[in-house]
Homo-oligomer: A and B are copies of this chain.
Amino acid sequence: MISKANIKSVKSLHQKKIRDAHNQFIVEGEKMVLEAIRWKSDFLVALYHTSDFPTEEIDATKINLIAISDHELKQISGLQTPNKALAVFDKWPLETVNIPFYIALDGVQDPGNMGTILRLADWFGVEEIICSMNTVDCFNPKVVQATMGAIFRIQVRYVDLKSHLLALKMPVYGALLEGENMYKSSLKPEGILILGNEGNGISEEIKQLIDYPISIPRFGEAESLNVSTAGAILLSEFFRGTI
């Protein structure tokens, strides 16, 4: 059972300004909620679940479990087909990492792309993604769902991208249509790979910081690649020499 006030407060987390103000966000669906608990149970605020959610798989003594009806789940969910559970989490603090290779996003807007890039980072073991302030919020529910769990393992840092890149003092690689053929570049995962906005690419300000402009050779007619598939190809090229 969930009160009207509670419904309203959970639903409000679909908005970025409320997520920012409360420092909380939403995770939905059986698989994602179980994954979230596995990695970040200390930050769970409340778990709203229907009767078919497998509560036996979690340590219920430590968790604020709230049984609700399918109808109530539908009221708080942002999914077309709600799936057994919705959890509210506190955002966890970012840790200082000192890693050899970062992905930086300069104005990526589409939640599906952002989620897919997080999932890619998780596949290739890139522990932190650096984002310009105008990049889509990684705690947007659509991003969270598209990460397939990577959001619980990879940290996303929003910064003034220009000054952050300068402070890192690492080689900066930028994916550009007119860069050097990446297949000939002997790429190693040491530095920062910048991926740009879906329509406009990397901004002029950030382009000036690129030490190594690289590009994916084209064999056919397509004008461009989607940012997440371009990112996939580039990451593979950076890592392929390491095994």
Contact = CB atoms under 8 A, between A and B. Distances in A.
Interface in A185-217: 216-217
- Assembly stoichiometry (copies): 2
Q: What is the predominant secondary structure among interface residues of chain A facing chain B?
A: helix
B243 A124 contact: no
A123 interface: yes
A230 B237 CA distance: 13
Contacts of A230: 232
A119 interface: yes
B183 A240 contact: yes
Contacts of A119: 222, 225-226, 229
A224 interface: yes
Interface in A98-120: 112, 116, 119-120
Interface string A144-167: 000011100100000000000000
Contacts of A55: none
A243 B123 contact: no
Given A226-B228, A236-B237, 14 more contacts: A112-B112, A116-B226, A120-B229, A123-B218, A123-B225, A124-B220, A125-B219, A148-B222, A148-B223, A150-B222, A181-B243, A183-B243, A228-B228, A229-B231
